[in-house]
Amino acid sequence: MKQDFSELRLDRVTRRFAGVGGKAFNALDELTITIKRGEFIALLGPSGCGKSTALNCIAGLLPLSGGTIQLDDLRIDTLPPESRGFGMVFQNYALFPHMSVERNIGFGLRMRGVSAAETTMRVANALKLVQLTGQEHKLPGQLSGGQQQRVAIARAIVIEPPLVLMDEPLSNLDAKLRIETRAEIRRIHHELGRATIYVTHDQDEALSLADRIVVMKDGVVQQIDRPQQIYAQPANLHVARFMGYRNVIEMDVEGATGDCVELRDRGIRLSGVAMQAPPGARAMVAMRPEEIVVGEGPQGRNTLAVRVETVEYGGRDSLVGVVTATGARLFLRTAQSAAPGDALSIHVPAERALVYAPTPA
């Protein structure tokens, strides 16, 4: 297997499993994507969405039920994992506890018959890259969780793979180590110049690390785009919910002026929302808690009177749950002090609301 490539192409990759009663279901359904050399791709979604299945299909740990995988002009989905030559980093590190850091990192090279002299040189380079020089004679149990994960990364990259695969590598670390280690992963990716495919359920990880994000649900790709687009312009209501649009209200379209509509539901009235729809249509309106503002809007537009139900203190701000007079519940973030029972006026900026066609939750 060559050690470099221009692009990895997945064409309608499908993985089918037998379900209850022998009825088959697609854990991965026709995933199609082209990944360029040097790209960092995040597969993002909740548990059971198919992201780890996709990674295992690429690695060769699961056979395909349909579709193909090509590395430039070479079809690789028919090759065994060891012939693909990819580096893989697992959630649980998968280090040998009785081997030193140095021997753990060099394990793959020894299995490939690389000479002792070259193995020593490449292990030293990998240790330097993951900033663990001086730790080579320690056992994994003598290292912190973040250091152990960097040993796992060094072991994956020391074989000089064309592609690095990472399956939720930070999920076992505490919050501080997760932030530190993801910065290290991004630095290592840039220095290597190879492609990385990274599985995560954490939106912050995906947004901060990836060049492109693949959002998945029930084995089906929902959106593939740059982090900025995924965050600001979710393709559908599922992506919006997953990316933090916690306030979702089904409303009636009452009137339209150009590309803007007026929406109403249970005492909530929003005007000037960008949407093309005829009066009488139904729409799902999604808003982030941080986009809702305490106070009245210009000329009182899109202003609601609410009562505070819950307050979750978060340091710089609080997540405040409110209810309207008609019982509609919303969440907002504010640095202003609030307590259960307080009466507030809140303003929903029309340009911050996203509108989708009604779909099942």
pLDDT tens, position by position, for the chain (361 residues)? 556 778 999 999 999 998 777 788 899 999 999 999 999 999 999 999 999 999 999 999 999 999 999 999 999 999 999 899 899 998 887 889 999 999 999 998 998 889 999 999 999 999 998 889 999 999 999 998 888 988 999 999 898 899 999 999 888 888 888 888 888 889 889 988 889 999 999 999 999 999 999 999 999 999 999 999 999 999 999 999 999 999 998 888 877 666 676 777 766 777 777 766 666 778 888 999 999 999 887 776 788 889 999 999 988 999 999 998 888 899 999 999 999 999 999 988 888 888 887 765 4
pTM of the model: 0.88
Q: How far apart are CA 126 and CA 87, in angstroms?
A: 13
Q: How far apart are CA 89 and CA 124, in angstroms?
A: 19
The confidence score (pLDDT) of residue 258 equals 64
308's torsion region: left (phi>0), alpha (psi -120 to 50) or beta?
A: beta
Q: How far apart are CA 241 and CA 52, in angstroms?
A: 21
The confidence score (pLDDT) of residue 50 equals 95
330's torsion region: left (phi>0), alpha (psi -120 to 50) or beta?
A: beta
Q: How far apart are CA 66 and CA 24, in angstroms?
A: 14
